[in-house]
Structure 1
Amino acid sequence: MRLRVLVLTNLFPTPWDPLRGAFNRQQFERLAQHHDVDVLTAVDFRERMAGVKGQVSVDGVRTDHFTFVYPPRIGRSLHAACWALSLWLQRGRRLRAAGYDCLLASWAYPDAAAAGWLARRLGIPYVVKVHGSDLNVQAEHALRRLQIRSALRGAAAVVTVSRALAEKAVALDAPRSMVHVLYNGVDPALFSPGSRSQARAHLHLPPDTPLVLYVGNLKESKGCLDLLEAFPALMAAQPAARLVYVGAGPCWGPLLERATALGFAERVHLVGAIPHDALGDWFRAADLLCLPSHNEGVPNVVLEAMACGTPVVATRVGGIPEVLPDVAGLLTPAHDRQALSGALVEASSCHWDREAIARQASAFRWDDNVSRLADILRDAAATAPAAARATA
């Protein structure tokens, strides 16, 4: 049965943030090969006011957006109500007429909390997909926790990207039988082993310099500042080492200021955000990927680096230990800069079997992911008559 699926999320590319949510883009693009998929993305009103940054075209997916409006400097516990009202006022008439079979909300708060209300109003079942800090951080706040719990309990299914997140969903009263662990996939056409020297030549990097790579948002909770503070230990062991950050975010300025204060700004390079399909050469060029996050689901950059045969140093948080075996990297406690320093030095001196690392990543396939997601959505859609009666 071909489904008509409505996806509601803030994690998807828009003209105001064309690089956002690459993992969702890959998943929904593949889902659209088998089902009719409409993705309606929430755009923060402040982001919209900042202006368009690029164009977005996603094969097979009908995309649209609405502006998420909320009163600034007011508690975030009101955001789900503002999200739902913004959506309904801007797109409610169209949504009522669309005849969707089910709804997929990708992100727990405010997206899923608001989507549960919308699904009941439309008389269709909904599935919640959670990613990491939506449960690890947002659910730690009492009023938001109540709304997230309600959204999970009312869903026809809950999809998590790790077993650790699945346990958090169950702790929030999601029925265990309705919770599905679904690891993200890796695109082998983009991420596979290759020549390091060729990758470095393409990126205009020195051919022999030890290179540690960070890929992700430049924000404190991702550990980017922890990595900077840990880096001098590696420079002491390997004086030519360089640290490259790929990404953008609020820590851009603090990273530069701190590197200057520590006296090694010339060894730190901030590349900025780059398109997802351009990351492969960065992973192949690096000696190590380091992602010392304070909380996580399962970050795709870890899987993608492994698929390129690149070892990973990461923190033992969220679902990272589930996907990063000893053969592919080292794990350290979050917030522990001394342990991170030691791991960087140890990993840089190890002889890594890059083919074995890539084999570990080959288990994470988008085809398998999307097939299972389609089954979950199909089962959810089968509950539609009961859902419709309940909301009549």
Structure 2
Amino acid sequence: MYADALKQHGKIFAVAPMIDWTDRHCRFLHRQLSRHALLYTEMIVADAIIHGPRERLLSYSPAEHPVALQLGGSDAGKLSEAVRIAADYGYDEINLNVGCPSDRVQSGTFGACLMRDPALVADLVAAMKQVSTVPVTVKCRIGVDDQEPAEVLPGFLDRMIGAGADAIWIHARKAWLQGLSPKENREIPPLDYELVHRMKRENPDVFLGINGGIADLGQAAGHLAVMDGVMLGRAAYQNAGLLAGVDELMEFGAVEKTRTADIDWLKLRDTMMAYADEVIASGGRLHHVTRHMVGLFQGFAGARRFRQILSAEATRPGAGVEVIAAAFAAVDIDGGPRAQPEEKRLAG
């Protein structure tokens, strides 16, 4: 997949894996906005795949491709078994989480705390590669706690490259495993883009992507001038309309603005209504779909009312897809987004 994408576009744009956010319904919405963006699942723990409800955890719409499965774990045998199981579901990539700083992840001795043991991570990657039929990649931080990123990151990357990792996505912040919440770890540790850029310059033949604090496609284009890939998280989720400019960015290397005006909003409405109907018919609730849609109309007149309708009405027992129609009707679609002050731009 990486070779094909790089051959076609030269670069990769991805939407970051985000726990409680990038579930299958979120990814289906994002795919309607971009054909080319690489989409990631939430992190799924290897034990859950082995012992839990596999179909619920791993199934997804074929429309989501290209889609990557992110795994959490620190046991080579369990991760290998999870990769074998996931093979039946046809993911385009398997990614190992070496960046999540939450207490729950630390208690399982995986996520960002694995940055302290690059030899173990290399063993995990090698074991996953041995059984995987698709690329195996790593998503990491630049360091943790008292580590000096400029000292530890080069060696960490060398280990991953030696283990055969097909790509490495680097969140350009250190993680503090004690004293900061996961939310604070996404905001407080300073970003060090230059270090990540330097890693790419020093490893010209290795796919390296960058993540962390990237707020819009203009910033993404700046990173793509140096990096092989760019990954947006919160910005892509909270202002999903910006994804409408991704295909232009990938095809032409630049985008003048977030092209929300070019979206066929009525087609999107109808597609999401049909999709939500299927979800409800299979036992889900409307809110499972619409909770990912509330950020669609950032800057549009009527956006606040759109959010209110989805937030209040979609959660009611028995709510149907007419709620989506009512929410869209509240927005001045033809008016397009208004310019936003610089300080109100979302951080990704």
TM-score category (smaller protein): 0.3 to 0.5
* Greater C-alpha radius of gyration: 1
With structure 1 as the length reference, what TM-score do the two structures score? 0.33
Judging by fraction of residues, say which structure has more strand. Answer: 1
